[in-house]
């Protein structure tokens, strides 16, 4: 059963052929982000308004209702009224807790993380898969080493300059200088993102790629929120995972479907800018690899994966199931599509963004001034289910499906 068949599981009033108000629940899983979820509401409000002007439809955002943090969307797209309730599935508190290490602790994370990727063989397999995200992954490691070398060099110079002082005093001054330089670099991290990225990659390796207990418990809560959405009487439930939120979404939906999801609206999974191989290539990620293999065959869900080669922080156009080496004979998902930034953004807009790597990683959630098949706001606030919107679509011709993971065991 492909995209077309999956779309037919919606209720009688679902999809573009209905005449009443189309109702959707969107559950958004952010990536590794320490900031409160309100930033996503503001991003949706401002970018949604911009896209409405470009595309000629109506879209407004109002405060959310009920449990969780979210907002209400009212839209009129392609001549039909749509109401969407968007909820952010929050794990920013876990992210902030994982970022509490000081300078010494972060350097310890660097050593442990680098050693795991090296000894497991994952590093060189990942480089073969996509060089862009691996440059992003090596960036914090290289910068931390360079910062450390600068600090040590200045400390050595100060030690030489104070050679006439009592031995202990010179060493004390040199050590203080080293620490001051490292602390200065850390204060610049709002611009450099070195510590942030190091904490991100280190969080993945806490249990060699397995989910830490606190995150596993949070995924169970997310599963409960999706189940509640399925029982809310809407036409579609759409789970959206971005960046690190993609592999979390895979596990949430795999567990949900294992438990059973009878008599429900259409269920869609939109994965954006994924970095799944950074986790699935690790020795402890058997749970994730099993979830990938399981979800890829299920008819209960429509899974569309969108990325773009212009996004250097994602494994663009890599089929996360296939490259992880766990594609089963009956694989049907995900449908791999390109957001094609060089085509969906005007030349002027592309020139303004092409060197803003972190901003480009969030472009999937933003307005396109030359929108194509991928349009975040038509998907989340339009009158078609994910299955109907991409019915009959072929995967991108540039899809990468070479199995490169050094570990293929599943749980």
pLDDT digits (tens, 9 = 90+) for 344-382: 999 999 999 999 999 999 999 999 999 999 999 999 999
pLDDT digits (tens, 9 = 90+) for 157-191: 998 998 888 878 889 999 999 999 999 999 999 88
* Model pLDDT, residue 18: 63
* Model pLDDT, residue 96: 96
- The first and second tokens of residue 6, run together, are 């999956």
Beta pairing class for 58-63 and 69-77: antiparallel
Assign 229 a pLDDT band (cuts: 50, 70, 90): very high
* Model pLDDT, residue 17: 55
- The first and second tokens of residue 143, run together, are 């910068």
Q: What is the largest CA-CA distance in the chain?
A: 88
- The first and second tokens of residue 106, run together, are 């972060």
Which residues in 139-232 belong to E strands, given as ranges? none
- CA 318 to CA 268: how far, in whole Å? 20
Mean pLDDT of the chain: 93
pLDDT digits (tens, 9 = 90+) for 312-323: 999 999 999 999
Residue 2 has pLDDT above 50, yes or no: no
Residue ranges covered by each domain of the chain: 3-93+209-389, 101-204
CA dihedral 116, 122, 126, 128 (to 10 degrees): 130
- The first and second tokens of residue 60, run together, are 């407004």
Residue 27 has pLDDT above 80, yes or no: yes
Residue 269 has pLDDT above 90, yes or no: yes
CA distances for 99 relative to 181, 191, 199, angstroms: 20, 16, 6
- CA 40 to CA 104: how far, in whole Å? 32
- CA 326 to CA 406: how far, in whole Å? 11
Region 193-200: mean pLDDT is 95
3-state SS, residue 84 = strand
* Model pLDDT, residue 124: 96
Residue 6 has pLDDT above 60, yes or no: no
- The first and second tokens of residue 367, run together, are 């307005």
More confident residue, 264 or 12: 264
What proportion of the chain, given as a percentage, has pLDDT over 70?
95
pLDDT-wise least confident of 15-24, 121-130, 237-246, 264-273: 15-24
According to DSSP, the residues that pair with 28 across neighbouring strands are 88, 240
- CA 336 to CA 323: how far, in whole Å? 13
pLDDT digits (tens, 9 = 90+) for 375-402: 999 999 999 999 999 999 999 999 999 9
Is residue 226 within 8 Å of 28, Cβ to Cβ?
Answer: no
CA dihedral sign of residues 353, 90, 200, 128 = negative
Residue 347: phi and psi, rounded to 5, are: -55, -40
Rg (CA), the chain: 23
* Model pLDDT, residue 398: 96
- Enumerate residues 6+ apart whose C-beta is below 8 A from 358: 193, 313
Q: Cβ atoms within 10 A of the Cβ of 118, count?
A: 11
Residue 71: phi and psi, rounded to 5, are: -155, 160
- Enumerate residues 6+ apart whose C-beta is below 8 A from 83: 21, 22, 23, 24, 72, 73, 74, 75
- CA 17 to CA 120: how far, in whole Å? 51
Region 242-247: mean pLDDT is 98
* Model pLDDT, residue 7: 39
According to DSSP, the residues that pair with 239 across neighbouring strands are 27, 269
Peptide bond into 334 cis (omega under 30): yes
* Model pLDDT, residue 12: 35
Alpha helices in 296-362 (DSSP H): 320-323, 341-344, 347-353, 357-361
- The first and second tokens of residue 32, run together, are 């590794």
C-alpha 189: how far from chain center: 21
Beta pairing class for 80-88 and 69-77: antiparallel
Question: What is the architecture, at CATH level 2, of domain 3-93+209-389?
Answer: 3-Layer(aba) Sandwich (3.40)
pLDDT-wise least confident of 62-76, 85-99, 265-279: 62-76
């Amino acid at each position: 059963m492909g995209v077309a068949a999956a779309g037919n599981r919606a209720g009688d009033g679902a999809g573009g052929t209905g005449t009443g108000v189309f109702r959707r629940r969107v559950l958004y899983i952010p990536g590794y982000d320490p900031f409160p979820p309100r930033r996503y509401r503001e991003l949706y409000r401002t970018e949604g308004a911009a896209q409405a002007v470009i595309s000629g439809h109506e879209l407004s955002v109002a405060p959310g209702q009920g449990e969780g943090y979210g907002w209400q969307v009212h839209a009129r797209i392609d001549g039909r009224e749509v109401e969407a309730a968007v909820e952010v599935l929050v794990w920013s508190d876990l992210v902030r807790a994982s970022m509490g290490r000081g300078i010494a602790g972060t350097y310890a994370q660097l050593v442990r993380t680098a050693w795991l990727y090296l000894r497991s063989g994952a590093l060189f397999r990942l480089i073969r898969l996509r060089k862009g995200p691996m440059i992003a992954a090596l960036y914090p490691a290289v910068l931390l080493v360079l910062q450390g070398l600068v600090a040590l060099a200045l400390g050595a110079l100060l030690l030489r300059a104070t050679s006439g002082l009592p031995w202990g005093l010179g060493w004390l001054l040199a050590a203080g200088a080293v620490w001051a330089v490292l602390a200065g670099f850390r204060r610049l991290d709002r611009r450099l993102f070195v510590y942030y990225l190091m904490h991100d990659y280190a969080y993945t390796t806490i249990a060699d790629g397995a989910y830490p207990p606190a995150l596993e418990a949070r995924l169970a809560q997310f599963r409960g929120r999706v189940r509640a959405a399925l029982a809310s009487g809407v036409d579609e439930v759409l789970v959206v995972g971005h960046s690190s939120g993609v592999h979390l979404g895979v596990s949430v939906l795999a567990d949900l479907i294992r438990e059973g999801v009878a008599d429900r609206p259409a269920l869609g999974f939109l994965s954006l800018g994924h970095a799944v191989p950074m986790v699935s290539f690790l020795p402890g990620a058997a749970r994730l690899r099993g979830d990938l293999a399981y979800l890829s065959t299920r008819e209960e869900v429509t899974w569309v994966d969108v990325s773009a080669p212009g996004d250097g922080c994602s494994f663009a156009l890599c089929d996360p199931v296939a490259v992880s080496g766990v594609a089963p004979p009956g694989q049907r998902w995900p449908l791999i599509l390109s957001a094609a930034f060089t085509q969906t953004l005007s030349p002027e807009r592309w020139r303004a963004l092409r060197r803003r790597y972190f901003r480009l990683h969030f472009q999937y959630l933003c307005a396109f001034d030359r929108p194509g098949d991928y349009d975040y706001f038509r998907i989340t606030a339009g009158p078609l289910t994910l299955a109907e919107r991409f019915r009959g679509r072929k995967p991108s011709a540039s899809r990468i499906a070479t199995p490169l993971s050094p570990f293929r065991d599943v749980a």
